[in-house]
């Protein structure tokens, strides 16, 4: 017949010298506590055990919160790095055509969007046929279009950044791919005193990429860089 492990002096001495082997084992400690509760009788309430259960539940919640905070921090860092790469790509180009080409290509790829359109309000000729392939990235619209598309804030001014989910995008913005878009971000651009506003529209097939309630600080920063670059070209 086998003997009980604790009758072995070596096992007993090892546990006595390092009790953390038991204390650090959550499942083992729970079984020991349950066995102790059963020996107390049905008319005994162990307040210490109740307090420990509540502390254990609180610890679990704190650990979950800790993990969520770390995940959010990493996500924010990744978003910051992405915006910085997009900005550096924009600043590399001195010509307007090259600037638009970067916005439609490398910048859109860096931002992981499936549609990208720069819209400038114009009081004159709104034809962009002379732009060739760049017509897909640049559009001219009548005065007031930006406010209608982006929506107004409580103060009556266009919202700087608007995030929303879509059932279908606007064909004027996305062309034939309009109904593939499931979320979008609109960045209203202040092009300087005496100039009509502009707007950058970013579309995504992922319905969760842009949604109300998400942070807009990074996109607001990107819009600030974009509008200052455009002022230089429009000067």
- Could you tell me if 139 and 117 are in contact, meaning their C-beta atoms sit under 8 angstroms apart? yes
Does a structural domain hold residue 75? no
Is 19 inside any structural domain? no
Give the CATH number, domain containing residue 127: 3.30.450
Supply 54's token pair.
């509540």
Which residue bears the tokens 């600037």? Answer: 99
Residue 175 lies in a domain: yes
3, part of any domain:
no
> Is 31 a domain residue?
no
pTM: 0.68
CA gap 91, 182 in Å, rounded = 30
- CB neighbours of 90 closer than 8 A, spacing ≥ 6? 99, 102, 103, 107, 225, 226, 229
The verdict on residue 111 lying in a domain is yes
Rounded to whole angstroms, how far apart are CA atoms 219 and 185? 9
> Whole-angstrom Cα distance, residue 134 to residue 116?
11
Residue 91's contacts (CB-CB under 8 Å, 6 or more residues apart) are: 225, 229
Per-residue pLDDT of the chain (235 residues; tens, 9 = 90+): 455 666 677 777 777 787 777 777 777 777 776 666 655 656 665 666 677 778 878 888 888 888 878 877 777 777 888 999 999 988 888 888 899 999 989 999 999 999 999 999 987 766 666 667 777 899 888 988 998 898 876 666 667 899 999 999 999 899 899 999 999 999 999 998 888 999 999 999 999 999 998 888 999 999 999 999 999 888 7
Tokens 């720069």 -> residue? 118
User: Where do the H-state alpha helices sit in the chain?
Assistant: 9-17, 20-23, 26-38, 47-91, 96-102, 108-110, 145-150, 171-174, 217-234
Q: What is the DSSP string of 138-164?
A: EEEE-TTHHHHHH-B-TTSSBPSEEEE
Number of domains into which the chain is organized: 1
CA–CA separation, 227 vs 192, rounded Å? 8
Query: Domain span at residue 111?
Result: 95-234
| H or E, element range at 202 | strand 198-204
């Amino acid at each position: 017949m086998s003997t009980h492990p604790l009758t072995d002096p070596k096992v007993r001495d090892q546990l006595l010298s390092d009790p953390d082997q038991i204390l650090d084992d959550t499942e083992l400690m729970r079984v020991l506590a349950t066995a102790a509760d059963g020996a107390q009788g049905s008319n005994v309430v162990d307040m210490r055990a109740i307090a420990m259960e509540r502390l254990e539940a609180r610890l679990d919640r704190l650990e979950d919160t800790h993990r969520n905070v770390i995940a959010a921090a990493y996500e924010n860092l990744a978003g910051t790095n992405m915006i910085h790469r997009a900005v550096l790509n924009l600043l590399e180009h001195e010509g307007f055509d090259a600037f638009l080409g970067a916005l439609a290509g490398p910048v859109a790829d860096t931002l992981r969007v499936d549609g990208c359109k720069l819209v400038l309000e114009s009081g004159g000729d709104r034809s962009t046929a002379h732009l060739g392939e760049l017509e897909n990235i640049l559009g001219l619209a009548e005065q007031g279009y930006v406010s209608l598309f982006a929506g107004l804030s409580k103060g009556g001014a266009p919202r700087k950044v608007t995030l929303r989910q879509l059932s279908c995008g606007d064909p004027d913005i996305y062309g034939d791919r309009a109904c593939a878009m499931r979320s979008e971000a609109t960045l209203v651009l202040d092009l300087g005193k005496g100039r009509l506003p502009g707007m950058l529209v970013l579309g995504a097939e992922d319905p969760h990429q842009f949604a109300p309630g998400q942070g807009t600080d990074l996109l607001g920063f990107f819009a600030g860089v974009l509008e200052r670059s455009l002022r230089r070209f429009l000067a």
